[in-house]
């Protein structure tokens, strides 16, 4: 069978005529897969390097057994973690305030209107110094009236004594005459009765003079109460009344009546009062030393000692009040300041036996 070669050539497929669109997606997919493979490889390399570095640091930080240099480093670390010894850590710490043992609101013992105030806040005063005055017009009138009564009673007493002397002279004369029967017995008895009456009048005049003198003293005392004076040396911390206001030892008037003129504090009587937990009571005793630190001056320390333990437990706080007497307070310490106190602690002290009753 003869086959024509030209016909066979016509039957072959020409590759140049094949469509290019079928090969392009295939190459695009291969390119994307290659990029993804490279990215995954780089990520794995970086992650492995970081993990290896962390592992090396952990292994380097772990101490190797039987290695003396590493043991020394571990000991150093432990020593740094231990806190430094502080004497205050073994003491009993408490907080409180500075208070004054001598503090008073000066008032008047009688009611009256303030006429003068002779002081100002912060002023230093001494015992007996005049602080203020009340309106004393009525008191002056009573004093003057009482003085007149005293003078009148004194004059009446003198007259009564003169009359008594005259009656006694008459009685003595009649006694001589009755012995000679020159006067009647009735006349003698009348003279004797008159002398007794004059004696009684003298006694009554003495009593009136005494009563008038007592009234004068009361009037003077009432007048002195119009002058308000300092009861002790100290500093005026507050003025409570001004001229024109009414003061009274008894509060009333819906708040319009003052009960005090001013407040005086003796700064030499400052102490510290703190609340200490009752759990520490057995470790605190009188005369135990204490370190005092003011909240306002944290770098300054003052020395003191336990002066008094109040024998009452505050059931709400579970604490007991302890008073600390200072030894070196200066002008920077003021009443009302907050303080921190560290009290010397003993191992076993029967402190309750030392509490003042």
Query: 257-292: per-residue pLDDT in tens?
Result: 788 899 999 999 999 999 999 888 888 888 889 999
The residue range of the domain holding 325 is 267-354
DSSP state of 20: G
Q: What is the CATH number of the domain that holds 115?
A: 2.40.50.100
Examine the fold and report which residue of 224, 257, 275 is the final residue of a domain before the chain moves on.
224
Q: What is the CATH number of the domain that holds 291?
A: 2.40.30.170
Q: Are residues 298 and 327 in the same domain?
A: yes
54, part of any domain: no
How many percent of the chain have pLDDT more than 70?
70
Count of residues for the chain?
357
Total tally of structural domains belonging to the chain: 3
In the numeric block, the tokens 């990215």 are attached to 39
Asked whether residue 77 is domain-assigned, the answer is no
Residues 261 and 275 in one domain: no
Edge-to-edge order in the sheet of strand 234-239: 103-106, 262-265, 234-239, 124-125
Mark out the alpha helices in the chain (DSSP H runs): 5-11, 24-61, 68-81, 137-179, 185-224
Distance CA 12, CA 24 (A): 25
Among 344, 341, 355, 311, CA closest to 96: 341
197 and 310 part of one domain: no
Instruction: Give the pLDDT band of residue 21 (cuts 50, 70, 90).
Output: very low
| Co-location of 184 and 330 in the same domain | no
Task: Write the pLDDT tens digit of every residue in 305-348.
Answer: 999 999 999 889 899 999 999 888 888 999 999 999 999 887 65
Task: Indicate whether 246 and 349 sit together in one domain.
Answer: no
Residue 149: inside a domain:
yes
In this structure, are 279 and 336 located in the same domain?
yes
Evaluate whether 327 touches 306 at the Cβ level (below 8 Å).
no
Tokens of 1: 């069978």
Yes or no: say if 357 and 311 are a contact pair by the CB < 8 Å rule. Answer: yes
Beta strand pairing status for 246-247 and 124-125?
unpaired
């Amino acid at each position: 069978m003869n086959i024509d070669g030209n016909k066979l050539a016509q039957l072959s497929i020409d590759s140049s005529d094949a469509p290019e669109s079928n090969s392009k997606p295939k190459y695009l997919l291969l390119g994307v897969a290659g990029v993804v493979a490279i990215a995954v490889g780089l990520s794995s390399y970086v992650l492995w390097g970081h993990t290896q570095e962390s592992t090396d640091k952990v292994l380097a930080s772990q101490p190797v057994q039987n290695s003396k240099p590493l043991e020394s480093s571990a000991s150093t670390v432990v020593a740094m973690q231990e806190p430094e010894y502080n004497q205050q850590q073994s003491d009993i710490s408490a907080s409180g305030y500075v208070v004054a043992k001598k503090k008073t609101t000066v008032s008047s013992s009688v009611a009256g209107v303030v006429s003068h105030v002779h002081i100002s806040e912060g002023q230093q005063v001494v015992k007996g110094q005049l602080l203020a005055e009340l309106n004393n017009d009525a008191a002056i009138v009573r004093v003057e009236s009482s003085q007149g009564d005293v003078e009148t009673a004194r004059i009446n007493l003198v007259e009564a004594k003169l009359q008594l002397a005259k009656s006694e002279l008459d009685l003595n004369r009649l006694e001589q005459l009755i012995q000679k029967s020159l006067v009647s017995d009735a006349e003698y008895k009348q003279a004797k009765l008159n002398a007794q009456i004059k004696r009684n009048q003298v006694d009554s005049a003495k009593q009136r003079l005494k009563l008038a003198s007592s009234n004068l003293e009361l009037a003077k005392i009432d007048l002195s109460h119009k002058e308000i004076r300092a009861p002790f040396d100290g500093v005026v911390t507050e003025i409570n009344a001004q001229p024109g206001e009414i003061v009274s030892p008894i509060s009333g008037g819906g708040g319009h009546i003052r009960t005090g003129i001013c407040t005086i504090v003796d700064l030499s009587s400052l102490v510290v009062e703190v609340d200490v937990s009752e759990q520490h009571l057995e470790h605190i005793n009188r005369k135990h030393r204490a370190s005092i630190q003011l909240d306002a001056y944290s770098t300054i320390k003052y020395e003191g000692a336990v002066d008094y333990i109040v024998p009452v437990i505050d059931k709400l706080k579970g604490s007991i009040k302890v008073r600390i007497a200072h030894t070196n307070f200066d002008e920077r310490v003021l009443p009302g300041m907050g303080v921190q106190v560290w009290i010397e602690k003993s191992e076993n002290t029967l402190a309750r036996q030392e509490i003042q009753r």
